[in-house]
Amino acid sequence: MTSITPAQAELISPAEVEDVELYHPKTWVTKYVFSQDAKVIAIQYSCTAIGIGLVALVLSWLIRLQLGFPDSFDFISPSDYYQFITMHGMIMVIYLLTALFLGGFGNYLIPLMVGARDMVFPYVNMLSYWIYLLAVLVLVASWFVPGGPTGAGWTLYPPQAILSGTPGSDAGIILMLVSLALFIIGFTMGGLNYVTTVLQARTRGMTLMRMPLTIWGIFTATVLALLAFPALFVAAVMMTLDSMLGTSFFMPSIVEMNEYLEYGGGSPILFQHLFWFFGHPEVYIVALPAFGIVSDLLSVHSRRHIFGYRMMVWAIVGIGALSFVVWAHHMYVSGMNPWFGFFFATTTLIIAVPTAIKVYNWTLTLWHGNIRLTLPMLFALAFIVTFLNGGITGLFLGNVVVDVPLSDTMFVVAHFHMVMGVAPILVIFGAIYHWFPLITGRMMNQAMGQFHFWVTFIGAYVIFLPIHYLGFLGVPRRYFEMGDTSFIPESVASLNAFVTVAALIVGFAQLVFMYNLFWSASKGKVAERNPWQATTLEWQTPEMPPAHGNFGETLPVVYRWAYEYGAPGYDEDFVPQNQPPIGASAETGGDGVPDGAAQPAK
């Protein structure tokens, strides 16, 4: 059913929903600021996410400076350090990766790739961005309140998160919780749009099993987010009440400075459950869009259909479903019943099966492919390796007996950076190099791109492989400094200094990337139509960059899956999704010859 015969082409069902009238902006403000166009909203989301992401990048340098050269920087106090790691982690995970993948790529690609003119409810979609921006501003505001931002660690575990010993316990923690709640409200508005658009607003011929995997990844991740964020929302509400009104949802009786606090009877473990019921799916909210996008990058740039498309779809859906029953693997050291540990270890290891299927299928897609080592392809390949690396350490951590000694060491830091830090970021870079020509009409600069790739890719390993080793030695995470600790050998200090230097170099490469973005947007080589010779609909629009309403007069009709490479009988090695089969009348396609079909090969 992925592609069809000429006879079937005549049978594509007629449009079921009449074209909705789009909102046509009349002023500059409604066109570019309070815009209801998903593409503009996507760019607003992306710029905000990258902007706040740069803050998190700078924080990572400060963290590393302290770890690499303790006692050398007066301006980093222990409290500062805790605030840095907390804000760094939270920004990276939520405000950068989640927002960029779903709000950024989701908004840009979903309508274009499924053949819709826009999201189903553009007004709500616009509100989504503005609430997200408000959430970011509230977060930033926590630097300017007395006591500064919270230093509770990105997991915000009570009771310490709201006790006076923790930096930012007066106002910082509250702003953090409010910001998270706002983020969730804003995200929900966007997320409902993404899901409904994918389910109910595809173009004629675009069956679910013809959707590009990018859409499958973003769609499933959004569903996860809509079901996982509620737990974080509830946790945020209850913790806000604990810290502002003095309720005891999460607070047991506590003695502080020889005095009983007013709290008593609450359950800190409850918070951990709520947090990780959100937190583990969150890993896949970040990973699934990356899985989807990387599948498409690999396919386009190796001129070969994705291997095992159906299996890839089911793996995405299966991983998504399983991700809701593994959360307590983050709580092995919380004193839980061993049978629970056993259960969660088992489910955790089961997730490895669909994940491994995906890695095999990516590799098999390359097999006999006509690989073009473009920048997006390099990043996609780097992703496979990095994700595999992070996934394997995950298998170790998923086992209770192995995790107990490794928990709260640098090994955990290395693991999650590989799997949910570096790997998705590599995909984001690849995706930006891939879709930049579509969005701006210009190619990104190659030389800067190559420099960026090699420094980032090699640098990530230079940074994080040694951190695994530090974890084995027992170096704990979230420590301001180790001082003279008997079990920590001298060499740890020099290794830490080495990692810090590497991190600064990698950080510099990101600035080159940022410069490249701005430079290429105005001075880059003008891109030709469909520069990567891709089959998916976003490249087949009448204009590039796509205009308001995406597809001109008539919506495209889809005749095949997104991976028709090297099909016999065609002049090109690729067949766009909206090109009718040979011998079928193009009449069904609405405007005759689909755009992009007549593109000459280079």
- Contacted entry of another protein, ligand HEM, Cu ion, none for residue 262, CB cut-off 5 to 8 Å set by kind: another protein
Q: How far is the CB of 281 from Cu ion (least distance, A)?
A: 9
Please, which residue, 97 or 251, has the CB nearer to ligand HEM? 97
Site for ligand HEM, rule CB under 6 A = 57, 60, 63-64, 67, 85-86, 88-89, 92-93, 97, 153-155, 413, 417, 420-421, 425, 463, 477-478, 503
Please, which residue, 60 or 193, has the CB nearer to ligand HEM? 60
Confirm or reject binding of residue 415 to Cu ion (CB under 5 A). no
Q: How far is the CB of 324 from another protein (least distance, A)?
A: 10
Q: Are 423 and 383 in contact (CB under 8 A)?
A: yes
Confirm or reject binding of residue 243 to another protein (CB under 8 A). no
Please, which residue, 318 or 430, has the CB nearer to ligand HEM? 430
Q: How far is the CB of 286 from ligand HEM (least distance, A)?
A: 7
> Residue 292's closest CA among 327, 319, 325?
319
Distant-in-sequence, close-in-space partners of 89: CB < 8 Å, separation ≥ 6: 153, 154
- Contacted entry of ligand HEM, Cu ion, another protein, none for residue 280, CB cut-off 5 to 8 Å set by kind: Cu ion
Please, which residue, 249 or 284, has the CB nearer to Cu ion? 284
Confirm or reject binding of residue 23 to another protein (CB under 8 A). yes
Q: Stretches 156-164, 263-271, 284-292, 435-443: which one binds another protein (CB under 8 A)? A: 263-271
Confirm or reject binding of residue 274 to another protein (CB under 8 A). yes
Cα end-to-end distance, the chain, whole Å: 31
Cα separation, 469 vs 488, whole angstroms: 12
* x-or-dash string of contact with another protein, 437-476, rule CB under 8 A: ----------------------------------------
3-state class (DSSP) for residue 76? coil
Cα separation, 410 vs 570, whole angstroms: 54
DSSP structural state of residue 565: B
State which residue has the least CB distance to ligand HEM: 89
> Count residues contacting another protein (CB under 8 A)?
59
> Residue 524's closest CA among 440, 445, 439?
445
Distant-in-sequence, close-in-space partners of 133: CB < 8 Å, separation ≥ 6: 44, 48
Residue from 204, 280, 301, 434 that binds Cu ion (CB under 5 A)? 280
Residue from 196, 370, 491, 585 that binds another protein (CB under 8 A)? 196
Confirm or reject binding of residue 33 to another protein (CB under 8 A). no
Q: How far is the CB of 190 from another protein (least distance, A)?
A: 12
- Contacted entry of Cu ion, ligand HEM, another protein, none for residue 534, CB cut-off 5 to 8 Å set by kind: none
Residue from 7, 19, 47, 123 that binds another protein (CB under 8 A)? 123
Q: Are 312 and 213 in contact (CB under 8 A)?
A: yes
Cα separation, 10 vs 33, whole angstroms: 43
Phi and psi angles of residue 102, each rounded to the nearest 5 degrees, phi first: -90, -55
Distant-in-sequence, close-in-space partners of 294: CB < 8 Å, separation ≥ 6: 362, 380, 383, 384, 427, 430
Cα separation, 229 vs 166, whole angstroms: 25
Please, which residue, 204 or 330, has the CB nearer to Cu ion? 330
Q: How far is the CB of 328 from Cu ion (least distance, A)?
A: 9
Distant-in-sequence, close-in-space partners of 240: CB < 8 Å, separation ≥ 6: 174, 177, 178, 181
Q: At what angle do helices 172-200 and 122-141 cross, to 10 degrees?
A: 160
Q: Are 244 and 261 in contact (CB under 8 A)?
A: no
Q: How far is the CB of 280 from Cu ion (least distance, A)?
A: 4
- Contacted entry of another protein, Cu ion, ligand HEM, none for residue 264, CB cut-off 5 to 8 Å set by kind: another protein
Cα separation, 215 vs 296, whole angstroms: 10
C-alpha Rg value of the chain to the nearest Å:
25
Cα separation, 150 vs 236, whole angstroms: 14
Cβ neighbour number for residue 389 with a 10 Å cutoff: 21
Q: Are 345 and 263 in contact (CB under 8 A)?
A: no
Cα separation, 169 vs 147, whole angstroms: 7
- Contacted entry of ligand HEM, another protein, Cu ion, none for residue 86, CB cut-off 5 to 8 Å set by kind: ligand HEM
Binding region for another protein (CB under 8 A): 1, 11-17, 20-21, 23, 120-123, 188, 192-193, 195-196, 199-210, 226-227, 229-231, 233-235, 237-238, 241, 245-249, 262, 264-267, 269-270, 273-274, 277, 558
